[in-house]
Amino acid sequence: MDRRPSDAEILEAVEAYARRRGVPDRPAGPGAEAPAWQVLLDFRIVRSVETRGERPMREPGSRDDIASRPTYTDIGSHRVPPPDDPELSRSRLLVRGGSLGEERCADCDGGTNKCGTCGGRGVRDCPRFVDCPVCEGGPDACWECEGTGRSRSRRPPHLRAGASPADRAARVRCTRCRIDDVACPKCRGRRQLDCPDCKKSGHVECTACSGTKRVTHQECRGTGRFTVWTEGWIHQNPHRAKERRLGRLDLRRATGNTGHWYETILRKTTDKLPDDLDGSDEALVAPHLTPRKDEVARRATLRRLPLAHVRVPADPHRDYFAFPSHTGIEVTSRPTTERVRHFAAIATASVALVVIVVLLAMALLR
Ligand SMILES: [Zn+2]
Ligand SMILES: [Zn+2]
Ligand SMILES: [Zn+2]
Ligand SMILES: [Zn+2]
Ligand SMILES: [Zn+2]
């Protein structure tokens, strides 16, 4: 039903509903009141609000993609179309006409600089020899000459370190003093080994530049130049507001699902609210329709559902509600709030009574 039903139509629908519930009386009969009307209201507005500005840009390398962006002369007055749907967020990046150019990187030479780690040598110094890890480069390198080549042992042979055959088993001939079974097996009496990193050459490749003597300049990402331009940006973003008056909580599912809400959609700032809106509803909604600065599009949706409240004299403890639905008039009923309070009071009294009985029983059993 796409109009507000008449009082007579409402009473007729309520009567049919009450009869199905087994209430014989006619709601329109003696003692009956006219339906009390209220209008449920659900208002939402989404506006697309525009923000814009500009900023200087400087990015490494040649940015060929920038030239394909649209240009503008004055960001404040540059016109862009409003979004078809104000719910959509949209951002535009533009280039101020004539601002696009390239400049050489002042802090490098064609994208690279001399390697600071190796000073541009491509290599780093490294000791040619390292201490033997087994004898730790000390006198234990050889029991006879301590790695010097000249026998230093003043002790008689049977008291010298490694005098027993077991001690001598792991030892080898010394390359310095040429005595058998006295030298460290790793360095053979030399105390030191050739450096495994530089293979005795005295230098290794610089890890910072991999031996190339130059490193990439990070700031320009090795390109040796920057693209510069003035960027203008325009953002369109949705801003939402709502006002709702949805009536009794326990009716919302019914009215929301089956009610035939009358919908009005306003898309322009000059679009007017419907004339049949009452003063308080208009006062609720109208402030939201005032155009905002930088608003470029809007969609305001006003949905209303007239809801009739009917009392049936033969069923005084229930409230009857009726509203237009897609198929006609929907009727539903709820216990009156007095009735709900009455039963709540009975329940509270019952609990209190049980507590008293229990306390009495406990007192008697002591
Ligand atoms: Zn550079
Ligand atoms: Zn030796
Ligand atoms: Zn050794
Ligand atoms: Zn080395
Ligand atoms: Zn280097």
Predicted confidence (pLDDT) per residue in 50-72, tens digit: 999 999 999 999 998 999 999 99
> What is the per-residue pLDDT for 71?
96
Query: What spacing in Å lies between the alpha carbon of 320 and ligand 5's midpoint?
Result: 90
Indicate if the pLDDT at residue 358 is higher than 90: no
**313 shares a domain with 341:** no
Mean pLDDT of the chain: 89
Instruction: Kindly identify the ligand whose nearest atom is closest to the C-alpha of 181.
Output: 2
**Mean pLDDT, to the nearest integer, of 262-291?**
90
**94 domain residue, yes or no:** no
**345 shares a domain with 320:** no
**25 domain residue, yes or no:** yes
DSSP character for 272?
Answer: P
Query: What spacing in Å lies between the alpha carbon of 129 and ligand 5's midpoint?
Result: 23
Indicate if the pLDDT at residue 105 is higher than 90: yes
CA separation (Å) from 324 to 35, 218, 306? 14, 71, 7
> What is the per-residue pLDDT for 98?
95
**205 domain residue, yes or no:** no
**289 shares a domain with 309:** yes
**Mean pLDDT, to the nearest integer, of 273-294?**
90
**181 domain residue, yes or no:** no
**293 shares a domain with 309:** yes
**Mean pLDDT, to the nearest integer, of 156-182?**
77
Query: What spacing in Å lies between the alpha carbon of 126 and ligand 5's midpoint?
Result: 14
Domain holding 319, by residue range, is: 7-46+256-335
Query: What spacing in Å lies between the alpha carbon of 224 and ligand 1's midpoint?
Result: 4
DSSP character for 282?
Answer: H
Q: Helix (H, G, I), strand (E, B), or coil: what is residue 358?
A: helix
**271 shares a domain with 311:** yes
**313 shares a domain with 261:** yes
Indicate if the pLDDT at residue 77 is higher than 70: yes
What are 109-166's pLDDT values in tens digits?
999 999 999 999 999 999 999 999 999 988 889 988 888 888 766 555 555 666 677 7
**345 shares a domain with 322:** no
Structure tokens at 298: 């809007």
Instruction: Kindly identify the ligand whose nearest atom is closest to the C-alpha of 106.
Output: 1
Indicate if the pLDDT at residue 1 is higher than 70: no
How many domains, in total, are found in the chain? 2
**111 domain residue, yes or no:** no
Query: What spacing in Å lies between the alpha carbon of 210 and ligand 4's midpoint?
Result: 17
Query: What spacing in Å lies between the alpha carbon of 189 and ligand 2's midpoint?
Result: 6
As a whole number of angstroms, the distance between CA 135 and CA 185 comes to 9
Query: What spacing in Å lies between the alpha carbon of 147 and ligand 4's midpoint?
Result: 21
**Mean pLDDT, to the nearest integer, of 13-33?**
75
> What is the per-residue pLDDT for 295?
95
Lowest mean pLDDT among 6-10, 128-132, 361-365: 361-365
Q: What percent of the chain has pLDDT over 70?
A: 93
| H/E segment holding residue 165 | helix 165-169
**189 domain residue, yes or no:** no
**331 shares a domain with 261:** yes
**350 domain residue, yes or no:** yes
**275 domain residue, yes or no:** yes
Q: Do the beta carbons of residue 163 and residue 157 sit within 8 Å? A: yes
**303 shares a domain with 355:** no
